[in-house]
Structure 1
Amino acid sequence: MKRKLTVLATALLAAAAAVLFFTGPAYAATGLHIAGRNIVERNGSTFVMRGVNHPHAWYANRTSSFADIKAAGANTVRVVLSGGRWTTNTAADVTNVIALCKQNRLICVLENHDTTGYGEDSAAYTLDQAANYWIGLKSVLTGQEDYVVINIGNEPIGNTNPGQWTAATVAAIQKMRSNGFEHLLMVDAPNWGQDWTYVMRDNGQAILDADTRKNTVLSIHMYAVFNQASAIINYLDTFASKGWPLVIGEFGWQFASGEVDDATILSEAERRNLGYLGWSWSGNTDPILDMTTNFDANQLTTWGQRIVNGPNGLKATAQEATIFGGSQPPSSPPPSSPPSSPPPSGSRGCTATYAVTGQWGGGFQADVKVTAGSSAIRGWTVTWTYANGQTVTQSWNATVTSSGAAVTARNVSYNGSLGAGATAQFGFLGSWTGSNSVPAMACAAT
């Protein structure tokens, strides 16, 4: 009995020692990795993706888009690549893409688009073929684990037999790891990414368990299946309750009744600290999903305005990765304090111009540019009255209030102080019926 007690005591001491001296994860972190439900950097800082998708595979000459995407406030870009279904993106091209991401201080999510809709689209590649593409690029990907996430295959299973997704995804992850990849892996849901049959929702643990490095994040694509706030919230709640890492790897916007509820996606992502990547910068066959017109960053579409400048959009929420210094994106204006002394005498006034930048059935987007007069100003207030029953529903870069048809917009903390002739801009979404005429504007400065 004494010997058994001694053995038991020794075992308990050994177990206690193991608990005391075990201070890290089972596997050493290499670059971006998963900690609980979060993506974290090598130094342990949480990184929340805020970015857009860029269709590089079809527009490989649009390399200036990387700088434009950064200037729009993004901290991440998801880059479309092809291993043969379209023109193959070679090792040299992928090397250049990674260099452009790093040059522009963007985390680079590389995705293989060849797998889109497998089982339903006869042209689609398997996830196994996608894994082979990455293996062929291993020499240019190794060593980039701090900067690159590998999204094994875009929307890898269509709506035909979506249940095959689980085994195919497990095998692809294991193939990547057996070939020595240490990167954070991202895996898309079936059903063209939207998981409406809940295969990923119900089998996510099998996917996470298949990764010997415990370094996989699940990705949901949200389009018309997620057209109501309740559908979005319920889906995200399930993943939160299970403690699974998740990003919203693609989503569109509510350009018509029954389309995706982008406002809820953005607000819920911000509330839950989830990453999101909007689709897409430009070049879609369906131009309603373009954020810019013909890749021109100076021509943001309605969708572009919503994700770049809107509430919970890129400029409001994106934080640069600490590997690049961790500063706010340069396009996000820092808060400024009013000057301690009054501005010099002169025309302490301002003017305002109103422009409708996008319009659809029952809704519109408008931008207002405020310009200081010949002297600096500390703050501004813009007023106007609608003649046709329009209403403002949400705004950004200004505090907007309404009383009947009368609307008042006041500067926020960071854009009230303007030098002589300097400008500030704010925008908003509104509703209209019948007609949507441009109102006369009045601007008062302090």
Structure 2
Amino acid sequence: MKKLLSVAGAALLTVLAAVFAFGQPAHAAAGFSVANGRLYDANGTEFVMRGVNHAHTWYAQQTTSFANIKALGANTVRVVLASGDRWPKNSAADVANVISLCKANRLICVLEVHDTTGYGEQSGAITLDRAVDYWLSVASALQGQEKYVIVNIGNEPYGNQGYGTWATDTANAVKRLRAGGLTHTIMVDAPNWGQDWSFTMRDNAASVFAADPQKNTVFSIHMYGVFDTAAEITDYLGRFRTARLPIVVGEFGFNHSDGNPDEDTILAYSQANGIGYLGWSWSGNGGGVEYLDMVTNFDPNQLTTWGQRIFNGANGIKATAREASVYAGTSPSPTTSPTTSPSPTTSPTGGPTPPPAGCTAVYTIVNSWQGGFQGEVKVTAGAAVISGWTTKWTFANGQTVSQSWNAAVSGSGAAYTARNVDWNGRLGAGASTSFGFLGTWNGSNAIPAVTCTAS
């Protein structure tokens, strides 16, 4: 159950200004990997989470929920587990069963321990170190599942008190998991009931990422009442994009007791920038936030207002989710699709519909300031594998490119050409990669049309 957040206020701390480069994707890796702020699956294909949270530990009998969540279009499910400290422990056998349900329905499993929620403010909450004890105790269920499982160390560690040690405690937890033999991608939640109004995670994310010997950590922000304006959402997520640190919206809703989050901006900005999101939650909410149920009584044929929005609305799950490529060639367990999940009739907002072959490109302004900006171009292969790509565009307002990464960029007057580098030219059918650049502008900064040619 979500703890109702008591917001102490918002602090404006220092800005993440440096741009970090953290290597390239580990193609044919044992499991998920992180590179340049993006998440890649074991095939080296970029993976963007589109899914929901499911309160398994309190509703363990609701095993059909996995098939129902998949049938509504999700590619990921974040599963609530318990360490046995605040709620009865989910055993290794139960964790193994959860993973099997995810795999049977071609979902990626994000597994989280909920007992850490609000540590320092919530009575009975446990430390991240104690959460690591739990993960090591169920390691037998996790090992060998790196292609399908992401380990979220602890839900919303720290409330609004005592969160100053978040960076040290999180880094130590990651290192303990690695020393214990877990090679999965690790997800870490922000403090302040997950909402990071103090910017503790934002301003220490680079050091926590660097502390991971495998450089395979993803950061998760929970967006409720703290994120009630478009500016707050785009600024927070944009700083992670600028720093090339991987970020997902691990929880969010369309309403909350602490304020009214701007879910439209969360969905639109995440889609435009290739950021994963996981809405809270499938069903079974209590404590005054029952309106956050996406379906009534776990019935996929009874979508709520929130369920309709996140599954079938603009930039929602149905229109934008792409199944993990590790499931290519497999079949899900037979299920009956809910009557409330029609196939989309429009292409995803904020991105192209891939053509039968070749490639497409989408140009995005990630961040902008007086006289300067950061741009990004996302290249997506069509229905066939490509071995290389070239994008071209022409600025209309005198903009210039001063620095670039993940592509060879050249310019002649207002016309620019960007070609793949050695490691990101080959893309599987429907797979994507991105490159970025810093530029200058004066007066206006219109987004140009971009063409993409495959080779």
**If the TM-score is normalised by the length of the shorter chain, which range does it land in?**
0.5 to 0.7
Give distance in 1, aligned partners of 2:322 and 2:26: 29
Residues 376-395 of structure 1, C-alpha deviations (whole Å, 9 max, x = no match): xxxxxxxxxxxxxxxxxxxx
CA positional deviation for 1:28: 8.6
Q: Does 1:121 align with 2:122?
A: yes
Residues 107/255 of structure 1: CA separation in 2 closer, same or farther (3 Å cut) = same
Residues 291-329 of structure 1, C-alpha deviations (whole Å, 9 max, x = no match): 011111010100000001000001000000111118999
Paired residues of 1:31 and 1:183 also in contact (CA < 8 A): yes
CA positional deviation for 1:91: 0.8
Structure 2 counterpart of 1:223: 224
Paired residues of 1:74 and 1:106 also in contact (CA < 8 A): yes
Structure 1 counterpart of 2:205: 204
Give distance in 2, aligned partners of 1:232 and 1:82: 30
CA positional deviation for 1:87: 1.3
Give distance in 2, aligned partners of 1:51 and 1:61: 20
Give distance in 2, aligned partners of 1:172 and 1:257: 30
Structure 2 counterpart of 1:77: 77
Structure 2 counterpart of 1:289: 292
Residues 125-149 of structure 1, C-alpha deviations (whole Å, 9 max, x = no match): 1000100100001111000000000
CA positional deviation for 1:26: 8.9
The one-letter code matched in structure 1 to 2:250 is: G
Q: Of residues 323, 327, 331 in structure 1, which corresponds to 2:326?
A: 323
In the alignment, structure 2 segments of 5+ residues that lack a partner are: 1-22, 347-455
Q: Does 1:48 align with 2:58?
A: no
CA positional deviation for 1:47: 0.4
Give distance in 1, aligned partners of 2:281 and 2:185: 22
**Structure with larger Rg:** 1
Give distance in 1, aligned partners of 2:125 and 2:258: 31
Structure 2 counterpart of 1:19: none
Give distance in 2, aligned partners of 1:165 and 1:56: 27
Residues 335/120 of structure 1: CA separation in 2 closer, same or farther (3 Å cut) = closer
The one-letter code matched in structure 1 to 2:83 is: G
The one-letter code matched in structure 1 to 2:261 is: V
How many residue pairs get aligned? The number is 314
Higher helix share: 1
Give distance in 1, aligned partners of 2:125 and 2:196: 18
Structure 1 vs Structure 2 CA RMSD = 2.2
In the alignment, structure 1 segments of 5+ residues that lack a partner are: 1-22, 337-446
Residues 6-56 of structure 1, C-alpha deviations (whole Å, 9 max, x = no match): xxxxxxxxxxxxxxxxx9779993211112111101111000000000000
Give distance in 1, aligned partners of 2:182 and 2:319: 34
Give SS of 2:210's match.
Answer: helix
Structure 2 counterpart of 1:303: 306
Show the 5 A alignment for 1:353-368: none
Residues 334/223 of structure 1: CA separation in 2 closer, same or farther (3 Å cut) = closer
TM-score, normalisation: structure 2 = 0.66
Show the 5 A alignment for 1:253-402: 253-254=254-255, 258-285=259-286, 286-325=289-328, 333=343
Residues 326/27 of structure 1: CA separation in 2 closer, same or farther (3 Å cut) = closer
The one-letter code matched in structure 2 to 1:48 is: V
Show the 5 A alignment for 1:58-207: 58-84=58-84, 85-207=86-208
The one-letter code matched in structure 1 to 2:33 is: H
The one-letter code matched in structure 2 to 1:264 is: T
Give SS of 1:57's match.
Answer: helix
CA positional deviation for 1:254: 3.6
Paired residues of 1:320 and 1:328 also in contact (CA < 8 A): no
Show the 5 A alignment for 1:427-442: none
Give distance in 2, aligned partners of 1:275 and 1:114: 24
CA positional deviation for 1:240: 1.2
Structure 2 counterpart of 1:248: 249
The one-letter code matched in structure 2 to 1:235 is: Y
